[in-house]
Every structure is written in structure tokens, then in C-alpha cells.
Amino acid sequence: MTQAVSIRVRGQVQGVGFRPFVWQLAREFGLRGRVWNDPEGVGIEASGARLEEFVAAISARAPKLARVDAVEVLKFFGELPQGFEIAESLGKGAETRVTPDAATCPDCAAEIRGAGRRKGYAFTNCTHCGPRFTILRGLPYDRAQTTMAAFPMCPDCRAEYGDPSDRRFHAQPVACPACGPRLWLEVAGREVHGDPVALAVERLRAGEVLAVKGIGGFHLACDAGSAAAVALLRDRKRRPSKPLALMGQEAALARVAVLSEADQALVRDPAAPIVLVPSRGVLPEGVAPGMGQLGVMLPYTPLHHLLLDAFGGVLVMTSGNLSGEPQVVDNDEARAKLSDFADAFLMHDRDIARRLDDSVERADPPMILRRARGRVPGTLPLPKGFGGAPQVLALGGQMKGAICLVKNGQALLGHHLGDLDDALCAEEFGKAVADYSALFDHRAERVAVDAHPGYRATMVGREMGLPVAEVFHHHAHLASCLAENGWPLDGGPVAGIVLDGTGLGPDGTIWGGELLLGDYLEVERRGWLRPAPLPGGDRAAREPWRNALVRLDQAGLSGWADELFADLPREVLRQAVAKGINAPMSSSTGRLFDGFAAMLGICGEAQSYEGEAAMRLEAIAAGEGSLRFAVDGGVIDPAPIWGEVRAELAQGVLAAELAWRFHAGLAEAFATLARGLVQEGEAKAVVLSGGCFQNALLHRLTLEALGDAPFMVHRVTPANDGGLALGQAMIAAARALRGAESD
Ligand code: ZN
Ligand code: ZN
Ligand code: FE
């Protein structure tokens, strides 16, 4: 007897070609019935002899962009149609889910290299690939609400769009040369006649810098193999040493970098992030000065494929923006702002609705350093206990802006918005709040902000007229890691090692090297790096030697500081420190790294971008053993190691070895204290958070030093301030829930 079932599929199953996939499966297994979208996901009613195989295939063979969380099967007794049909979407909210932009799929990549009507067509896409969030103007997600609305489909494209057996069924950005966007090469405001890709490649080979319009913004491109081209780009962009991202086909990347299996899997991910991988050292030093690693990505649009196929090598593909400003997205804006940088523009006429930088990630240990294109708007389910959470809007930190929305048991962490000190980034921040709120029909009942009164996001939050939850910076870091790992609201206290550059602590000083004990609701400080002054305030973050000076003075090694920094204004700083003028106390780990780097002669006088000294230190580290920090009560004091460092340098011990031992010593000091809290039963697990844990070596050595203590780390949200808003949102939600309980 044939039976009938009703099937509920939950997860990321809308806007990813799931209904046509189910339709095709049903035909394959000879079933009758229907499939539809609704607010809970995808619903199916079906009957036939091969139902079991069908149900198994739903998760086993799901489309690449789908994520199936659950397939629930119940008996069904209603009427079914003769064939199998795709039914109308049911209920409001069915279309509100938007998936992230996805890299060109293998079928589309093959199609543009083939002989069909999309041969060489730079805007080819299908249900399994192409732009989504970056072309979306509003919901529901259909063509009229995207920047593809300007391109009416030709009959051929319309036929594909309407055919459930075609891989372009309901692919909103479907296009072809007859009806879709157009590509051209432009020099000094004039279109150059000829094949734009061939013209672009000719110029790249000649060492020129090109502005290339992508899906989330413009890139600046040049030949990564040419030291002169790289130097030209750096000179024009006034970017002396910050590493430049690279793009190449896999074979080309393999010639310049070492990609492990995990790296290969990550570069091939539909998100196509920039992946940090070990360099083979064959590219010019100027690509990533002082780094042992390169940031590489695969071509992720058909335009990139055409360009890289024709070019053959590896291109620098760095954000097209003025220093500190957001990436340029608009054609006229590009002409106005990038003309000084670029010799020519590879442009197209599809608008970018939403600016998204490339995401930056690492495969081992897995981490996200910048969360943007391909990763947003992804959601995280809230952990157990947060079910009744109100709608919260969290506004994040200052340097790596990102917001977070909580609604319906989900947390949505928005994309990287840049440094809010910059006026345009701040404007972008305001837009993002309005944009995400509108897209997800979010009505904030409370707002969560960093406790630092000077942060722009904090000021904006306080003006919103909503109840405000003020959250201390390092508590937010800890909570974001808990949330990512699904730690329940009543999961009990954990030991959080939170290491970063700067954040206001409850005692009014600047924190950044902390061992916290607590949960979503409360934390106490159980350990910290011995504070040192930050002479000159913000300047201490730009000039590593300042941090070396105060640490050496603290340790009674002023004489060594005088030798190391003989030409620098030491006495002025010492007097300022003695009088307490613009020299706030801080337990910052970032500044400790800076100071140590300066002692080894790395970026002593100045670093040209945030984290440069620490990244160079990590890059050279090699060896074994550790430098022993003094631990007294909860205070971790580096003072005793400086004398040892000085003596060993004098004996000819390499900076590389000392760098390794510094990382290991710091990791051991914090891990030992954290482990102690677990062993004494005060903490249930150890959490690692804060920007310093993007340092892969520190990350690894800390986990090693933790031994068998249970731990949680960031994998899908940034450990840096880009993940802060998630923690703020969770803390605000926890407070609201506790408040409701005690009422
Ligand atoms: Zn495709
Ligand atoms: Zn067409
Ligand atoms: Fe931080």
C-alpha cells in the first residue's frame, strides 16, 4: 500500500533552489504531491512507493547553499495532486530569508568557458551561485526588489527562470548577454572599444593598476608578480605595508602559497573568503612585508574568472577605497575617488545595493577575522534559555564596527563596517542599522552598547529613546564566544581569557589582558596583566617603542631602554608618565606585544596599521620553550622576562626564538590561572576571546597549555571587536529575561 507523508524541512532552505530540488527528487522517485515555502522553512506533502529513499535524499543531496537543520516526517491523510507541483508560498515572512552572496558555481564557471550563449559572459549565475545580499534592495527577495530590476529578462532567460527542471528556476539575478548587465573598460571617463577583459589584461601585464567593480564594491588590482606594480599601487594608495589580498585560480595560487586540504576546502567555499595561508616566498616582498603568510582567494564572480583565466597569474585585489574610508561601490563615486589610484576601470552597469568587503578567514585553527561577503546575513540560533528574549539591537564597538539583531530565537550578526572614527564609516553604520532593521522587520525593544561613553556607537545607542544595556567590553567578548558555542543561559560560570588591544573596564582603566569568571549575567575579574601606562594615549598604539619604554622602566631596566631608543624622546614621556599626563593605565595585551616587538627591533618607532608589530612577531616566531611571566595572586607580570631577553639577545639568541618563547610564556600564564579555576570547580570551561586570539600561534599555545580543560573558541564569529555586538546582545537579552523572571 502506498502511504502519504507530510514533511517539514528546517534550516537555510529558502532562496537556495530547495523547492526545485525537491521537485526533481520527487520526479526521480515517482512521487506525487507538492512543495512550498512558509515561515518555518519548506513544507512537503508526498505519496509514492519510494518515500523512504526520497526522505533520505532530502538531506543527503540538498543544494550546496542549503543547510538542513531538521527533516520531520508525519503521516498525511489529505488530498494530493496527480503529479508533483511547486505550490504558492504560504504565510507572511516566507520570503524574508535572504542567503549570502555565493561564488560562481562549477556549472556556471564551465558555461562561460563553453560555446553557449553565455560564453564569456561576466554576469552568469544560477540558483546555486551569484549575488544575493549585495543586490537586494528590499524584501521579498525577487527580481523587482534587486538591482537586476533594471534588466528585463529576455525570452530565453525567462524560460529558464520558469522551468523547475532548469538550474535557473527562480534564480532572481538570471541574465545573459541579450538582456543582462554589460561590462566595459574605461579610461579617463571614456569607454575603450574592444574586448574589455583582453584590454584589462593587457594593461595589468604592463604593470598598471586597475579598478575592478565586483559584487560588494570596487577592488584595486595589479600584477602581484610585479614588484614595480605592487610598489606603484602601495605608493598611490599610501599604504606602505599592510598586506594586500590576492586572487588567482587554484593552480596559480598553489605556485605562490602552500594550501593544505583544509585551506583548499575553505577557499572553495561558496563564501569565497580571503584565506590566510603560508607563503612560498616567491612573490615580491611588497605584497605582504614581514609576513610569512598571504591572504588568497579564488575568483568568485564570472568577471573574476574571465579576468584570471586570461591573465594566468595572481592579481593583487585590494579594497578600492580611500584610506580608512569604506569601499567604493558606485560608478561615479569610483571615477571621483579612485582616479588617482587606477589607470583604468573595469566597470559594469549593475548597481551594488549593499557594500560588502571580502571576508577574511583562516582554516587552521578555523577562525573568521573579518566577517562580510558570503557570511552575511547568516543567523545563529540562540542558546537554550534565550527562547523568550526580546528584540535587541546591539551596536558593537568602535574600531571594527558591526551590529547584531536578536529576534525570534535567532541572532543576526551584521557585516564588518570599518572604523567608526571615520566619518563615512560612521555614516555607513547609521545606514546599516536602518537597513538591517528594515530588512528583517526588526523592532528593537532595547539597545545594547559598549560602556565606553566616547564610542560613536554608544552615543548613537543612547539617543535612540530605548532602554539601554551598557556592557563592559571584555564581558561582551566572553559572551559572544559563549553564544557562538551555544552555551545555555543557565550553563554556569566559565573562565574567560580575553586578550585584546583596548576596552574600558569597570574600574575606569583600559583593559585588555583579562581572566574573567562568570556568565552572560555577571563577571568578575580574576586575573590580569600588570597594568602599565599608555604614554600619549592613542599614540601608544601607533608607536610600539612607547610601550617598551614603560615596561622596561617598570622592570628597572631604564638603561636598556635608553640604549634601544636613544634617538627617541624618552624623557618627555617619562615626565608625562610621572605626572600622570595623558598616560592612562592599561592591562592591554596588544600593547604588551607592541612593546616586546619594539625591544626586538620590530616596528619600534611606528606601525603603519593596527596589529602590524604583533603580526610580524608572530610571523618570525620559531623555536621551543617559554619565557616565564611572574604570577602573583591574579596579576601576571612580564617584568622578570625583560632582563632575560636582554641577556639572551646579547648572547646571540635569535629574535625568532625569543618571539616564540614570549608567545608560549603569555599563553602558559593565562592558561594556568584559567585551568586552576576549572580544577577548583569554580568554572565549567575556558573561553578564549578578544582580537589577540586571531594570532594563530597564541591560540594554539594557549589551547596546548590548557591541557584537558574543556574550552570554547570562536570559529564562525570574529574573536575581535567584529564579534562584540553578539556578546552585547546576549547580555542585554539575559538581563531582560532575568528582569522578567524577578518581576
Ligand atoms: Zn551557478
Ligand atoms: Zn537573457
Ligand atoms: Fe576588544
Residue 564 lies in a domain: yes
Q: What is the CATH number of the domain that holds 197?
A: 3.90.870.40
Dihedral angle at the C-alpha atoms of 559, 565, 567, 570, nearest 10 degrees?
Answer: -70
CA of 118 to the centre of ligand 2 (A): 9
- How would you class 650 by CB atoms within 10 Å of its CB: exposed for 0-12, middle for 13-18, buried for 19 or more? exposed
CA of 20 to the centre of ligand 2 (A): 20
Ligand closest to the CA atom of residue 510: 3
Would you state the pLDDT for residue 324?
81
Q: Are residues 45 and 69 in the same domain?
A: yes
Q: How far is CA 388 from CA 40, 66, 406, 733, 734, in A?
A: 18, 27, 11, 9, 10
Ligand closest to the CA atom of residue 179: 2
Residue 209 lies in a domain: yes
Residue 438 lies in a domain: yes
Q: Are residues 597 and 644 in the same domain?
A: yes
CA of 496 to the centre of ligand 3 (A): 13
CA of 271 to the centre of ligand 2 (A): 26
Would you state the pLDDT for residue 685?
98
Would you state the pLDDT for residue 262?
98
Cα-Cα-Cα-Cα dihedral sign, residues 278, 282, 284, 290: positive
Q: How confident is the model at residue 109 (pLDDT cuts 50, 70, 90)?
A: very high
User: Would you state the cell numbers that stand for residue 294, as one nine-digit string?
Assistant: 598571504
CA of 394 to the centre of ligand 3 (A): 15
Q: How confident is the model at residue 94 (pLDDT cuts 50, 70, 90)?
A: very low
Q: What is the CATH number of the domain that holds 680?
A: 3.30.420.40
Q: Residue 61 is part of which domain span? A: 5-86
Would you state the pLDDT for residue 89?
76
Residue 367 lies in a domain: no
CA of 590 to the centre of ligand 3 (A): 10
For residue 742, how far is the Cα from the chain centroid? Answer: 38
- What's the total number of domains in the chain? 4
> Of 63, 86, 109, which closes a domain?
86
CA of 473 to the centre of ligand 3 (A): 6
Q: How far is CA 731 from CA 385, 403, 407, 660, in A?
A: 12, 14, 14, 36
- For 176-199, how does the pLDDT look when each residue is reduced to its tens digit (9 = 90+)? 999 999 999 999 999 999 999 999
CA of 208 to the centre of ligand 2 (A): 34
Q: What residues have CB less than 8 Å from 659, skipping those under 6 apart? A: 600, 617, 618, 620, 621, 622, 623
Would you state the pLDDT for residue 167?
93
CA of 240 to the centre of ligand 3 (A): 25
DSSP 469: E
CA of 153 to the centre of ligand 2 (A): 5
Mean pLDDT over 316-323 rounds to 93
Residue type present at position 24? Q
Q: Are residues 439 and 545 in the same domain?
A: no
Would you state the pLDDT for residue 423?
85
Would you state the pLDDT for residue 92?
58
DSSP 357: P
CA of 499 to the centre of ligand 3 (A): 8
Q: Are residues 611 and 635 in the same domain?
A: yes
Q: Are residues 41 and 12 in the same domain?
A: yes
Ligand closest to the CA atom of residue 500: 3
Mean pLDDT over 642-650 rounds to 97
CA of 109 to the centre of ligand 1 (A): 7
CA of 213 to the centre of ligand 3 (A): 32
Q: Are residues 546 and 442 in the same domain?
A: no
CB 90 within 8 A of CB 9: no
- For 271-301, how does the pLDDT look when each residue is reduced to its tens digit (9 = 90+)? 999 999 999 999 999 999 999 999 999 999 9
Ligand closest to the CA atom of residue 455: 3
Ligand closest to the CA atom of residue 725: 3
CA of 522 to the centre of ligand 3 (A): 18
- Helix (H) / strand (E) element for 617: namely helix 612-620
Nearest-angstrom CA–CA distance, 721 and 108: 37
Q: Are residues 544 and 665 in the same domain?
A: yes
Residue corresponding to grid cell 610600539: 544
Q: Are residues 450 and 345 in the same domain?
A: no
CA of 691 to the centre of ligand 3 (A): 6
Would you state the pLDDT for residue 10?
87
Ligand closest to the CA atom of residue 118: 2
Considering all CA atoms of the chain, what is the largest pairwise distance in Å, rounded to the nearest integer?
A: 93
Nearest-angstrom CA–CA distance, 609 and 611: 6
Ligand closest to the CA atom of residue 399: 3
Dihedral angle at the C-alpha atoms of 705, 711, 713, 715, nearest 10 degrees?
Answer: 120
- For 202-227, how does the pLDDT look when each residue is reduced to its tens digit (9 = 90+)? 999 999 999 999 999 999 999 999 99
CA of 48 to the centre of ligand 2 (A): 37
Ligand closest to the CA atom of residue 514: 3
Mean pLDDT over 59-77 rounds to 92
Residue 123 lies in a domain: no
CA of 107 to the centre of ligand 1 (A): 6
Would you state the pLDDT for residue 95?
41
CB 129 within 8 A of CB 86: no
- Residue 67 half-sphere exposure toward CB, CA atoms < 13 A: 10
Backbone angles phi and psi of 410, in degrees to 5: -125, 150
CA of 197 to the centre of ligand 2 (A): 21
Residue 52 lies in a domain: yes
Taking phi over 0 as left and psi of -120 to 50 as alpha, with beta for the rest, 666 belongs to alpha
CA of 104 to the centre of ligand 1 (A): 5
Nearest-angstrom CA–CA distance, 196 and 210: 12
Q: How many CB atoms lie within 10 A of CB 156?
A: 13
CA of 285 to the centre of ligand 1 (A): 36
CA of 712 to the centre of ligand 3 (A): 17
pLDDT of 65 higher than 90: no
- Helix (H) / strand (E) element for 237: namely helix 227-237
Q: How far is CA 372 from CA 102, 249, 368, in A?
A: 12, 22, 10
Residue type present at position 543? E
Ligand closest to the CA atom of residue 402: 3
Q: Are residues 733 and 600 in the same domain?
A: no
CA of 147 to the centre of ligand 2 (A): 15
- For 571-592, how does the pLDDT look when each residue is reduced to its tens digit (9 = 90+)? 999 999 999 999 999 999 999 9
CA of 454 to the centre of ligand 3 (A): 15
Ligand closest to the CA atom of residue 474: 3
Backbone angles phi and psi of 54, in degrees to 5: -60, -50
Residue 723 lies in a domain: yes
CB 253 within 8 A of CB 272: no
CA of 105 to the centre of ligand 1 (A): 4
- For 694-738, how does the pLDDT look when each residue is reduced to its tens digit (9 = 90+)? 999 999 999 999 999 999 999 999 999 999 999 999 999 999 999
Q: Are residues 314 and 388 in the same domain?
A: no
pLDDT of 742 higher than 70: no
Q: Is the peptide bond before 140 cis (omega within 30 degrees of 0)?
A: yes
CA of 11 to the centre of ligand 1 (A): 21
CB 381 within 8 A of CB 488: no
- For 668-703, how does the pLDDT look when each residue is reduced to its tens digit (9 = 90+)? 999 999 999 999 999 999 999 999 999 999 999 999
DSSP letter for each residue of 299-334: --SHHHHHHHHHH-S-EEEEE-SSTTSPPP-SHHHH
Q: Are residues 415 and 432 in the same domain?
A: yes
Q: What residues have CB less than 8 Å from 249, skipping those under 6 apart? A: 298, 299, 308, 309
Q: Are residues 698 and 676 in the same domain?
A: yes
Entry pTM: 0.95
CA of 74 to the centre of ligand 1 (A): 34
How high does pLDDT run on average in the chain?
95
Q: Can you state the angle between helices 724-742 and 473-484, rounded to 10 degrees?
A: 90
- Helix (H) / strand (E) element for 410: namely strand 410-413
- For 496-537, how does the pLDDT look when each residue is reduced to its tens digit (9 = 90+)? 999 999 999 999 999 999 999 999 999 999 999 999 999 999
User: Would you state the cell numbers that stand for residue 731, as one nine-digit string?
Assistant: 547580555
Q: How confident is the model at residue 323 (pLDDT cuts 50, 70, 90)?
A: confident
- For 436-456, how does the pLDDT look when each residue is reduced to its tens digit (9 = 90+)? 998 888 999 999 999 999 999
Tell me which of 135-149, 233-247, 725-739 is least confident: 135-149
CB 124 within 8 A of CB 70: no
CA of 111 to the centre of ligand 1 (A): 9
Residue 73 lies in a domain: yes
| Nearest C-alpha neighbor of 214 from the set 90, 104, 56 | 104
Q: What is the CATH number of the domain that holds 19?
A: 3.30.70.100
Q: What is the CATH number of the domain that holds 460?
A: 3.30.420.360
Ligand closest to the CA atom of residue 721: 3
CB 705 within 8 A of CB 667: yes
CB 97 within 8 A of CB 106: no
- How would you class 195 by CB atoms within 10 Å of its CB: exposed for 0-12, middle for 13-18, buried for 19 or more? middle
